[in-house]
Amino acid sequence: MQGFLSDPDVAARILDHISGESTDEGDVVWREPVANYVSPERYQRELDGVLRRLPVPFCPSAALPEPGSYVARSAAGVPLLAARDEEGVVRVFRNSCRHRGTEVAQGAGCSKSFVCPYHAWTYRLSGALSHVPHERGFPNLDRSEHGLVEVASREEQGIVFVNQHATDDFDWGQLPDMVGGGQRLLAITEAPVAANWKVALEGFIEGYHIRATHPESFYPYGYDNLNLVETVGRHSRVTYPFRRIESLADVAPERRKVLGLLTYVYHLFPNVLVTVLSHHTNLVVLEPTGIASTTFHVYTMTNRTDAGSDEDAKARRDAEFVNDSGGAEDRAIVESIQRSISTGANEAFTFGRFEKAIVHFHTQLRAVLAE
Ligand code: FES
Ligand SMILES: [Fe+2]
């Protein structure tokens, strides 16, 4: 699988677009029926046939930095629990006690074992059932048959993937160099957004809206409708250059470094984004919580190439700025779309040549649903 462009090639193509007043364009205009955003049947098929069937990023390795680290959250509506064991191996389980189903962990933290809050059945990091209070009440209980139920998972290049149905393999080809095992986690945040997960996603992967939606937040640093849009397999990357990238015109092409001069937004099909900004990287999971609601699970990390606590402060400041300014503007737009969806004004939404990554997403989604 051919990968994304190298940084010097990205820089060259952006400088060409700046001088030519052009942008990357797709070949087709796509009409996506609005029914596909409101149909409960379609929503259920997206959960069962896509989000639970494919390998999907669950969290970055940085969220599980040491033995005992765990992250519990729902993925496609199913409560899961990822934990790193004493040997450093990450496992993912269905977060459901084998006694009567209570979730055995919440949120994120570090623990030697998982003690169910209901009657205190206790599980090791490996998922094995290690303790049952007053066990004589369960004659003949085979503990080895009552460990937490494991879900297929794999940790690769700084990301923990899960595959709930394990019907697909984990071949992602060469993952781009966006997340690595050595990055430090700065924060995990959750934000509910009153919009369908696809509407929420679409807000991240085109730059046609930057000038109109973000006149005072992002646009002063960026361009009007100037982006690179690449696709690799089912995935895509949209590049948002800052105006300061023009300084690279005076740098030899092979020596051009782009970090800090642009934002990369990777869309990892179907519902995960990795945004690489000047001082921090976010892995954002768009978790559907209903047909018209989504929770953003945001894992904020240092950048791959950053080191030292100075960078942490800059990263936190930047993350706050992006979230409170442009991020809030984006969330307001997608919630506005969601409110209007039931008006019946649109039978379809139209995605044009500049919205190529969204066209790619819908093309892929349709293909996976048809498999
Ligand atoms: S439900 Fe977990 S110990 Fe009873
Ligand atoms: Fe935006």
* Residue 248, domain CATH: 3.90.380.10
Residue nearest to atom 4 of ligand 1 (CA): 119
Q: Is residue 168 part of a domain?
A: no
Q: How far is the CA of 72 from the centre of ligand 2 (A)?
A: 29
Q: How far is the CA of 213 from the centre of ligand 2 (A)?
A: 7
Query: CA-CA distance, 35 to 342, in Å (whole number)?
Result: 10
Q: Specify whether 152 is located in the same domain as 186.
A: no
Give the max Cα distance, the chain: 78
* Count: domains in the chain: 2
Q: Specify whether 99 is located in the same domain as 241.
A: no
Q: Which listed ligand is nearest to 205 at the C-alpha?
A: 2
> CA angle, corner 61, sides to 157 and 328, nearest 5?
105
pLDDT of amino acid 168: 57
Q: Is 350 in the pocket of ligand 1 (CB under 6 A)?
A: no
135, 163, 191 - which closes a domain: 163
Task: Ligand 1, residue 102: give the atom nearest the CA.
Answer: 1
Weakly modelled stretches of the chain, pLDDT under 70: 1-2, 167-174, 306-309
Beta strands in 18-88 (DSSP E): 30-33, 56-60, 69-75, 78-84
Q: Specify whether 252 is located in the same domain as 306.
A: yes
Assigned token pair, 40: 């409960």
- Residues with C-beta atoms within 5 A of ion ligand 2: 330
Q: Is residue 98 part of a domain?
A: yes
> CA angle, corner 90, sides to 130 and 156, nearest 5?
170
Q: Is 146 in the pocket of ligand 1 (CB under 6 A)?
A: no
Count helices and strands (H / E) in the chain.
Answer: 8, 19
pLDDT of amino acid 167: 61
Q: Specify whether 115 is located in the same domain as 188.
A: no
Give just the sign of the alpha carbon dihedral 304, 306, 309, 312. Answer: negative
Query: CA-CA distance, 245 to 261, in Å (whole number)?
Result: 5
Q: Specify whether 193 is located in the same domain as 261.
A: yes
Give Cα 288 distance to the centre of its chain.
Answer: 12
pTM above 0.85, yes or no: yes
Q: Which listed ligand is nearest to 206 at the C-alpha?
A: 2
Q: Is 121 in the pocket of ligand 1 (CB under 6 A)?
A: yes
pLDDT digit string, tens, across residues 307-330: 666 778 888 888 888 888 999 999
115, 138, 163 - which closes a domain: 163
Q: Is 100 in the pocket of ligand 1 (CB under 6 A)?
A: yes
129, 163, 197 - which closes a domain: 163
> What mean pLDDT, rounded, does the chain reach?
94
Q: How far is the CA of 115 from the centre of ligand 1 (A)?
A: 9
Q: Is 102 in the pocket of ligand 1 (CB under 6 A)?
A: yes
pLDDT of amino acid 77: 97
Task: Ligand 1, residue 116: give the atom nearest the CA.
Answer: 2
Q: Is 99 in the pocket of ligand 1 (CB under 6 A)?
A: yes
Whether residue 203 contacts residue 333, with contact meaning beta carbons closer than 8 Å, is answered with: yes
SS3 328: helix
Q: Specify whether 204 is located in the same domain as 131.
A: no
Q: Which amino acid is at 164?
A: Q
Q: Which listed ligand is nearest to 207 at the C-alpha?
A: 2
Q: Is 97 in the pocket of ligand 1 (CB under 6 A)?
A: yes
pLDDT of amino acid 365: 98
Q: How far is the CA of 96 from the centre of ligand 1 (A)?
A: 9
Q: Specify whether 321 is located in the same domain as 198.
A: yes
Q: How far is the CA of 327 from the centre of ligand 1 (A)?
A: 40
Domain that holds residue 138: 56-163
Residue nearest to atom 1 of ligand 1 (CA): 100
Which H or E run contains 293? strand 293-302
DSSP per residue over 220-277, as a string? GGS-SS--EEEEETTEEEEEEE-GGGGGGGGS-GGG---BTTEEEEEEETTTEEEEE-
Q: Omega of the bond prior to 192 within 30 degrees of 0, cis?
A: no
Q: How far is the CA of 77 from the centre of ligand 1 (A)?
A: 21
pLDDT digit string, tens, across residues 209-226: 999 999 999 999 999 999
Assigned token pair, 55: 């390998």
In sequence order, which residues have a C-beta less than 8 Å from that of residue 209 and are 6 or more positions away? Answer: 203, 333
Q: Specify whether 107 is located in the same domain as 244.
A: no
Give just the sign of the alpha carbon dihedral 138, 141, 143, 146. Answer: negative
Q: Specify whether 354 is located in the same domain as 252.
A: yes
